[in-house]
């Protein structure tokens, strides 16, 4: 079944604007499928080069514009898959944009570790950058309607949105285990960034058990037997490999606000549950609230990115344990959200926050109005 990806339209709108197009995101989220879908609809001559192949890496590393012209011939669109594997890929992409007119180059990558570092300077002002995530609530609503997707919410909270998981019902547990074991750390291990893979797995498991809670590097370190700096470095690597992302604390006015706190979420609920080996139904789980929070924060991130909306994202808490799950700052105004799975639960926002920040709007997001938060 073909599920239309929102990002397809965004990318099509910037083709042939004399800039490189970078498509990044975790492994197995459908970057190749997205490219195949887009290119199948176009009339231009296409060349696809895969950075996983040694001869392609050799051809595209430390090259010249003359050599690039001879490699691509009369191709009008050149796709470089797994571009992070190619040495000095930033310079190669710069040569495409500056020296080879009329050719659109598209680079895809599953790791921000090397790709971001190698393209930053050479491609300043010369690139459009896109992130592809696992499938989204909005994409699935477009695919089979709001009613069907709302019925599947409990399933999504347990198994997530990776395309393989969504399109192979009945095989979720097996495929998620495979995904978590085979792909989660592949780029990190391949790049030799980790001295202790076993420590990484301990940190990931500890983070999986703390979603929705404030994370302390010191406490994590004590739990896994590592110092603060090592824990922070490994979390940074996990973020660059698109496994987790951080949400900082918001503070401006209130004396007792937590100023340097952070929460850490997984990009996908299914991966989180695979890490701790818990696929039990929602009804019997003690982490239902945390799963709902992780789902909403990660889905909101997809929505903001795909709709190209500018927003700073936070949580809010005081030392007296007053808290708000999620805050967005847009054009100087604060939008505060509390997440409750049950629509009947009464939500009260802390007066401390409401008084300190009069320019605000408050919302309670539950399973019956989730589309207002993730689509509209």
User: Are 170 and 302 in a shared domain?
Assistant: yes
User: Are 127 and 21 in a shared domain?
Assistant: yes
User: Are 115 and 236 in a shared domain?
Assistant: no
In the chain, DSSP assigns E strands to: 20-24, 46-50, 77-81, 104-109, 127-131, 244-248, 262-266, 312-317, 323-330, 333-339, 360-365
User: Are 100 and 191 in a shared domain?
Assistant: no
The token pair at 174 is 């097996």
- What global pTM score does this model have? 0.92
In a domain, 338, yes or no: no
In a domain, 322, yes or no: no
In a domain, 282, yes or no: yes
CATH code at position 297: 1.10.10
User: Are 190 and 304 in a shared domain?
Assistant: yes
Alpha-carbon span 120 to 112, nearest angstrom: 11
Q: Under a CB-based contact definition with an 8 Å cutoff, are residues 113 and 187 in contact?
A: yes
User: Are 233 and 197 in a shared domain?
Assistant: yes
In a domain, 349, yes or no: no
Alpha-carbon span 371 to 376, nearest angstrom: 7
Average confidence score pLDDT of the chain: 90
In a domain, 295, yes or no: yes
What's the structural domain count of the chain? 2
pLDDT of residue 171: 96
Choose one of 312, 327, 348: the last residue of a domain.
Answer: 312
In a domain, 354, yes or no: no
User: Are 25 and 110 in a shared domain?
Assistant: yes
User: Are 91 and 202 in a shared domain?
Assistant: no
User: Are 181 and 307 in a shared domain?
Assistant: yes
CATH code at position 67: 3.40.50.300
Q: Under a CB-based contact definition with an 8 Å cutoff, are residues 120 and 84 in contact?
A: no
User: Are 300 and 204 in a shared domain?
Assistant: yes
157-191 CB burial, b ≥16 within 10 A, e <16:
bbbbbbbbbbeeeeebbebbeebbeebbbebbeeb
The token pair at 24 is 């990044």
User: Are 114 and 216 in a shared domain?
Assistant: no
Alpha-carbon span 316 to 258, nearest angstrom: 8
Choose one of 287, 312, 337: the last residue of a domain.
Answer: 312
Q: Which residues of the chain have pLDDT under 70?
A: 111-121, 185-187, 190-195, 253, 257
Query: Residue 116's CB: how many other CB atoms inside 10 A?
Result: 16
pLDDT of residue 82: 87
pLDDT of residue 251: 83
Choose one of 278, 312, 346: the last residue of a domain.
Answer: 312
User: Are 197 and 299 in a shared domain?
Assistant: yes
Structural domain for 68, as ranges: 7-131
In a domain, 127, yes or no: yes
297-336 CB burial, b ≥16 within 10 A, e <16:
bbbbbbbebbeeeeeebbbbbbeeebbbbbbbbeeeebeb
Query: Residue 133's CB: how many other CB atoms inside 10 A?
Result: 24
Place of tokens 């708000």: 324
pLDDT of residue 111: 66
pLDDT of residue 155: 97
What secondary structure letter does DSSP report for 257?
A: B
pLDDT of residue 118: 64
In a domain, 48, yes or no: yes
pLDDT of residue 354: 92
Q: What is the pLDDT of residues 148-195, one digit of tens each?
A: 999 999 999 999 999 999 999 999 999 999 988 877 766 677 655 666
Q: How far is C-alpha 47 from the geometric centre of its chain's CA atoms?
A: 28
């Amino acid at each position: 079944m073909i599920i239309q990806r929102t990002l397809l339209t965004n990318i099509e709108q910037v083709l042939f604007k004399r800039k490189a197009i970078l498509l990044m995101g975790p492994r197995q989220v459908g970057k190749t499928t997205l490219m195949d879908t887009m290119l199948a609809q176009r009339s231009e001559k296409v060349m696809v080069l895969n950075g996983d192949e040694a001869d392609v890496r050799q051809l595209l590393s430390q090259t010249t514009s003359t050599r690039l012209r001879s490699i691509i011939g009369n191709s009008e669109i050149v796709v470089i898959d797994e571009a992070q594997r190619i040495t000095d890929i930033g310079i190669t992409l710069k040569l495409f944009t500056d020296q080879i007119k009329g050719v659109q180059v598209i680079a895809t990558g599953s790791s921000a570790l090397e790709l971001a570092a190698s393209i930053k300077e050479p491609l300043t002002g010369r690139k459009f950058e896109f992130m592809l995530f696992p499938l989204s609530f909005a994409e699935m609503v477009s695919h089979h309607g709001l009613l069907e997707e709302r019925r599947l919410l409990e399933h999504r909270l347990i198994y997530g949105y990776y395309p393989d998981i969504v399109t192979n019902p009945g095989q979720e547990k097996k495929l998620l285990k495979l995904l978590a074991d085979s792909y989660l750390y592949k780029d990190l291990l391949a790049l030799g960034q980790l001295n202790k893979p076993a420590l990484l797995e301990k940190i990931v498991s500890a983070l999986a058990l703390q979603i929705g809670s404030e994370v302390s590097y010191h406490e994590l370190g004590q739990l896994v037997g590592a110092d603060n700096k090592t824990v922070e470095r490994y979390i940074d690597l996990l973020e660059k490999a698109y496994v987790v992302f951080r949400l900082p604390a918001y503070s401006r006015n209130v004396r007792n606000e937590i100023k340097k706190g952070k929460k850490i979420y997984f990009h996908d609920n299914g991966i989180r549950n695979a890490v701790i080996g818990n696929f039990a139904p929602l009804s019997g789980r003690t982490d239902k609230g945390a799963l709902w929070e992780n789902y909403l924060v990660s889905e909101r991130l997809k929505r903001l990115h795909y709709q190209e909306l500018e927003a700073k994202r936070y949580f809010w808490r005081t030392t007296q344990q007053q808290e708000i799950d999620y805050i967005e700052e847009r054009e100087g105004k604060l939008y505060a959200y509390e997440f409750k799975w049950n629509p009947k639960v009464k939500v009260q926002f802390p007066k401390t926050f409401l008084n300190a920040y009069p320019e605000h709007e408050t919302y309670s997001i539950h399973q019956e109005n989730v589309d207002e938060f993730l689509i509209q």
